[in-house]
Amino acid sequence: MHRLRVCTELRRRAPQTVLRNWFSSFNSTRSAHSLPFATIEVEEISGSQPAEVHNLVQGKWTKSSNWNTLLDPLNGESFIKVSEIDETGIQPFVESLSNCPKHGLHNPFKAPERYLLYGDISTKAAHMLSLPKVSDFFTRLIQRVAPKSYQQALGEVYVTQKFLENFSGDQVRFLARSFAVPGNHLGQQSHGFRWPYGPVAIITPFNFPLEIPVLQLMGALYMGNKPVLKVDSKVCIVMEQMLRLLHGCGLPMDDVDFINSDGKTMNKLLLEAKPRMTLFTGSSRVADKLAVDLKGRIKLEDAGFDWKILGPDVHEVDYVAWVCDQDAYACSGQKCSAQSILFMHENWTKSSLVNKLNDLAARRKLEDLTIGPVLTFTTEAMLEHMNKLLQIPGSKLLFGGEALDGHSIPPVYGAIEPTAVFVPLEQMLKDVNYDLVTREIFGPFQIITEYKDNQLSLVLDALERMHAHLTAAVVSNNLLFLQARLGDKPYFQEVLGKSVNGTTYAGLRARTTGAPQNHWFGPAGDPRGAGIGTPEAIKLVWSCHREIIYDVGPLPQHWEIPPST
């Protein structure tokens, strides 16, 4: 009842008054177990006290009779019960989406006050996430379901909070900014508008259980769409709690549907509800299937075999080694932006870089989750892939390559040491090896190779043959190496001009991971590509262009009907 009263107040009263009252209640009457929005206490989730995750449809939280029991990725206990919808239970979700018109819940000519509403919601939600108690709650909850270090999980909460700050106040309505072009005669003007799709769907993965779904969900809502959200069941509890926080901040209960289901059921829902646009973040295989099933009405942020090139200028070896370690092994390598392959110029090979990478990887330990369970690959699968790579002539294990020991991670998940395998560049490029070497292993695993001055063209060929172009890094302060072709030296080629990746860092401090909220994050080279985080990303993914041409006259004096043409 307390949460119901808060929601009612948030809709009825002035925003500042509501915030003051809610935060006062938060600070003075919070029990030992709960926040105003929360239905769980993170530390109490266990096999003896499993948490429950519900569905949200047509403005109501609901439970189904089917429960999917999740295993704690650190000890194998059955610690979360997810109420999952099967194929027989999708009708309320189909009806809910079908009730949303193609012109959306709001647009520049319909209910424009909702742009202001979402500016207010963002203000309140950003303030809530800035509170240490709330930030810590979500950080620890992320750690429970997608184990990563506290700092990595906290970074996800921070980026989400800053994103919400960015779209506070008037910033939501600025997303719908239009333009006008003079017409051919008096009374004629053409106006371009950003228009919602109406009913839409969002499907997000396990590795960023707060950041990705919140940023895409809010982008969809800002532009006037009605979304159904599906988050990977392994981590859906995080977004369920965040939705409850958003409801407390004024989000109308029936603006978003939240479904827990398996992939087959979700596919059926998409085919029957026919959302006008679906955002999918996840594997390339599923992405390609959905693109066919949905007849192209989709935006994708799929997998990435992300590369980093170390240029010929060697500087700050300690710093570059640290960034490489973070890019490859933070979150146990379970980032779509993780460094999958490192192309080292021979000058770097002669440095202490590889030894420093080994030392940094050795610091990672399960106790602080700087290395942890891999949720999509088993230990056996990762080690089998490593052994296949080691059969390539000239390949060698640089470090790692062993299963973690002394843990209770269930065998359905993977647990290996941070691992690096060296593969000669010429061998990598052979047709018989290329697909194997460039297979993305969503875990603490990377390929390292070396190139010489006269081999940069081979590196660029390797990049050209890759099929997913998400993130990349060119570590060099040599501007000629980055972007110009000049003189006879073979490494003066267009590294940036001859590559594609949508989020590319260039310079000595270049990285592949750790994208903040202030720049575009997403792939390039694919018309289906989706972005996240920025106004440009939101407008690209969650709205389309509509042109309205006003032509009100007056007619020329003495106008007559002309001859037929």
pLDDT digits 0-9 by tens, 207-255: 999 999 999 999 999 999 999 999 999 999 999 999 999 999 999 999 9
According to DSSP, the residues that pair with 309 across neighbouring strands are 343, 474
Catalytic residue among 77, 165, 301, 417: 301
Q: What is the pLDDT of residue 283?
A: 85
Which of 248, 245, 209, 207 is closest to 229 using CA atoms?
209
Q: Are 216 and 189 in contact (CB under 8 A)?
A: no
What does the alpha-carbon distance between residue 64 and residue 439 come to, in Å, rounded to a whole number? Answer: 38
List CB contacts of 274: < 8 A, sequence separation 6 or more.
Answer: 199
The alpha carbon dihedral of 495, 499, 505, 511 has a sign of: negative
Nearest 5 degrees, angle CA 25-CA 27-CA 31?
80
The residue with greater pLDDT, 481 or 317, is 317
**Which is nearest to 512 in space by CA: 501, 528, 496?**
501
* DSSP 8-state class, residue 89: G
301 is catalytic: yes
Taking the C-alpha atoms of residue 430 and residue 391, their distance in angstroms, rounded to an integer, is: 14
**pLDDT for the residue 171:** 97
Cβ atoms of residues 318 and 351 within 8 Å: no
73 neighbors 413 (Cβ within 8 angstroms): yes
Residue 297 has pLDDT above 60, yes or no: yes
Q: What contacts 88, CB < 8 A, 6 or more positions away?
A: none
Is residue 294 scored above 90 in pLDDT?
yes
* CA neighbor of 503 nearest in space, from 489, 490, 514: 514
pLDDT of residue 433: 98
Using the structure block, give the residue that is written with the tokens 């389309």: 544
Distance between CA 334 and CA 330 in Å, rounded?
Answer: 8
Q: Angle at the Cα of 208 (from 204 to 214), degrees rounded to 5?
A: 65
544 tagged catalytic = no
Q: Do 181 and 190 contact (CB within 8 A), yes or no?
A: yes
- The contacts of residue 277 (CB under 8 Å, 6+ apart) are 197, 200, 201, 225, 297, 298, 299, 541, 542
End-to-end, the C-alpha distance of the chain in Å comes to 71
Q: Which helix (H) or strand (E) holds 268?
A: helix 263-273
For 200, the 3-state DSSP assignment is strand
Q: Tell me the average pLDDT across 518-545.
A: 95
Distance CA 321, CA 475 (A): 11
pLDDT grade for 316, boundaries at 50, 70 and 90: very high
pLDDT band, very low/low/confident/very high, at 278 (cuts 50, 70, 90): very high
Locate all alpha helices (DSSP H) within 409-534, ordered by sequence. Answer: 425-428, 431-437, 456-465, 479-483
Query: Which of these is catalytic: 77, 336, 440, 450?
Result: 336
8-state DSSP, 88: G
What's the pLDDT score for residue 238? 98
pLDDT of residue 478: 85
Tell me the two tokens of residue 169: 């106040």
Structure confidence at residue 34 as a pLDDT band (50, 70, 90): confident
Q: What percent of the chain has pLDDT over 90?
A: 88
**Over 80: is that where the pLDDT of 331 sits?**
yes
Q: At 359, list the tokens.
A: 């030392």
H/E element, 26: helix 15-29
Q: Is there a contact between 304 and 337 (Cβ–Cβ < 8 Å)?
A: yes
DSSP 188: E
Least confident piece of the model among 15-29, 60-74, 257-271: 15-29
**pLDDT tens digits for range 482-494:** 655 444 454 445 7
**CA–CA dist 176, 172 (Å, integer):** 7
Q: Tell me the average pLDDT across 79-93.
A: 97
* DSSP labels, 340-386: EEEEEEHHHHTTTHHHHHHHHHHT--GGGTSS--BSSS-HHHHHHHH
How far apart CA 146 and CA 402 sit, in angstroms, is 22
For residue 142, the 8-state DSSP code is H
Which range has the worst mean pLDDT, 76-90, 175-189, 346-360, 475-489?
475-489
The predicted pLDDT at position 483 comes to 59
d(CA 371, CA 332): 5
CA distances from 35 to 30, 32, 46 (A): 6, 9, 19
pLDDT of residue 236: 98
* 3-class DSSP state of 474: strand
pLDDT mean across residues, the chain: 92
* Backbone Cα Rg of the chain: 26
Mean pLDDT confidence for 422-440: 97
pTM over 0.95: no
Cα 556 to Cα 171: distance, rounded to the nearest angstrom: 42
Give the residue carrying structure tokens 């770097």.
348
Angle between helical axes of 2-12 and 236-248 (0-180°, round to 10): 50
Residue range 514-525: mean pLDDT, rounded: 93
φ, ψ for residue 250, nearest 5 deg: 110, 0
pLDDT of 112 above 50: yes
